[in-house]
Amino acid sequence: SQTEPYTCGACGIQFQFYNNLLEHMQSHAADNENNIASSQPRSPLTVVEEKWKPQLQRNNTNNTSASGSVGNSAIPEKERQNIAERLLRVMCTDLGALSVVSGKEFIKLAQTLVDSGARYGAFSVTEILGNFNTLALKHLPRMYNQVKVKVTCALGSNACLGIGVTCHSQSVGPDSCYILTAYQVEGNHIKSYVLGIKGVDIRDNGDFIHHWVQNVLSEFVMSEIRTVYVTDCKVNSSAFSKAGMCLRCSACALNSVVQSVLNKRTLQARNMHEVIELLNVCEDLAGSTGLSKETFGSLEETSPPPCWNSVTDSLLLVHERYEQICEFYSRAKKMNLIQNLNKHLLSNLAAILAPVKQAVIELSNESRPTLQLVLPTYVKLEKLFTSKANDAGVVSKLCHLFLEALKENFKVHSAHKVAMILDPQQKLRPVPPYQHEEIIGKVCELINEVKESWAEETEFEPSTKKPRAAGEATAAQEEDWFGKNEVYDYLQEPLFQATPDLFQYWSCVTQKHTKLAKLAFWLLAVPAVGARSECVNMCEQALLIKRRRLLSPEDMNKLMFLKSNML
């Protein structure tokens, strides 16, 4: 039998392990101590003056001798903590500051500020504060715990709705690391929290990553919380499926679709030599040094996510900027490259691949919900490939291959189907009528799976009705308990013509469609794509710290946590 969870008396958050509760309570205490200290009317300068006034009086005839007489104990502990906090904020603004804050120039700046601000004369910063890195890292656990308790409270307050969790790798050269991020709705916006970052070895398998994820999550949320995981293809999804629903990153999936079809070995085996030649020419024209992007500009204002690493980019660049590229190579007297280009095949391939890349960009939008777009994207691309599969020649062959790759790599989960219905602009419109009943069934199944925990909550419950006499319970009432009537009522309402703010919409209809609103506030917070735009930068910094051995892996993880959640 499972032991009762440990509950924090201050905020009500529950923990599986007693050690996590103790750490959480200590963070509350540190937080309260800081709040009390900051609310005192006396300024830090007054405190400093009072502490050091006797030394001033003794040494006011010779300020230079004062610098040698002020000991480590002269500065109040609260002041040391304040300075450490400021240093950590500097480090989180730019992790390159790890080496900067202990450098000579930074020490000189700090010395100048102290000299100018101190009314009793100069003293040695290094003697009073010691090494800045050491000082900051000494207080890193305390500050980490303070921010951690706030993240834990935020995630715990949303336990009734469920969360989304992404676990996605990012490669930087030969090295890679995983970033673990939690998502939930706060107000009418999606809020994300980076919970952990871990450098990984190529020998680490999916089970190893799964254990790491579960260990980190256990420090922030209870195991019972409803979770949808979004992972890349390297993670063992079956291990995650035991702990919740596990979806594959949509950008990774579409990347696999394109890579599997345009793989040069595959094309060679299928005697598609003209496609190989076109890809090679486009790579040569685009230039491996990035010359074309600098010369002709980027293809789009919004970049695809970091896990989109497709061979299509050079092909689409050449197609989009064909006239400028011709003019550029004509001036350079290298027209032989252009003459080798199959313009007709280029246009046909671009017509197939441009919508795929556009779909990836839309699915990776970080400012609004995206999970509801996955199934419509699948349907749209399936129609595109099918429509061109009847063309003559190599394009038809390619489209048949794309259809096969789409079915094999771009898996649509029941969570994607339910999320689509929860968009009042789409509902069931993107899919053919014969799929409607099956998708409605998936919605009711999900309501049935999670309804037990809802029965304990009151804030989302509709107004209570008078109980009927015993024996009057009908099949219709039982069906309504599973939400079927509510789903049909919602589907019969007219579609939105304009793109709605989804969370604003569900906030307004919560009393009317209670069960669906709960699903919406959970599922629509889950991103379709597991990698965010800042992933590359975070991993580069984490791996730089690892390579230079600037910090231990534990301290690196804590500092990255602060960087993501404190500022």
Q: Give the start-to-end residue ranges of the domains of the chain.
A: 138-248+533-566, 253-367+374-409, 413-454+489-531
Q: 278 CB contacts (<8 Å, ≥6 apart)?
A: 315, 341, 342, 345, 346, 349
pLDDT: which is higher, 142 or 205: 142
Q: In this predicted structure, what is the pLDDT of residue 192?
A: 93
Mean pLDDT on 383-411: 91
Computed over every residue of the chain, the mean pLDDT equals: 79
CA distance 420 to 380: 14
CATH code for the structural domain at 138-248+533-566: 3.30.420
Q: Is 90 exceeded by the pLDDT of residue 311? A: no
Residue 468 has pLDDT above 80, yes or no: no
- Tell me the Ramachandran region of residue 501: left when phi exceeds 0, alpha when psi lies from -120 to 50, beta otherwise: beta
Contacts of 27 (CB under 8 A, 6+ apart): 145, 146, 148, 149
* pLDDT value, residue 367: 87
Rounded-to-integer distance, Cα 530 and Cα 51, Å:
52
Confidence of residue 118 (pLDDT cuts 50, 70, 90): low
Closest CA to 61 of 114, 117, 121: 121
What number is the average pLDDT over the span 308-314? 80
Q: Is the pLDDT of residue 240 over 60?
A: yes
Q: Does residue 64 surpass a pLDDT of 50?
A: no
Q: Say which range, 39-43, 362-366, 522-526, has the weakest mean pLDDT.
A: 39-43
pLDDT average, residue stretch 343-353: 92
**pLDDT at 85 exceeding the cut of 80:** yes
What's this model's pTM, rounded to 2 decimal places? 0.79
Residue whose tokens read 């100069």: 122
pLDDT score recorded for residue 302: 66
Q: What is the mean pLDDT of residues 467-491?
A: 64
pLDDT of residue 408: 95
- Model confidence at 490: pLDDT above 90: yes
Res. 418 pLDDT band, cuts 50 70 90: very high
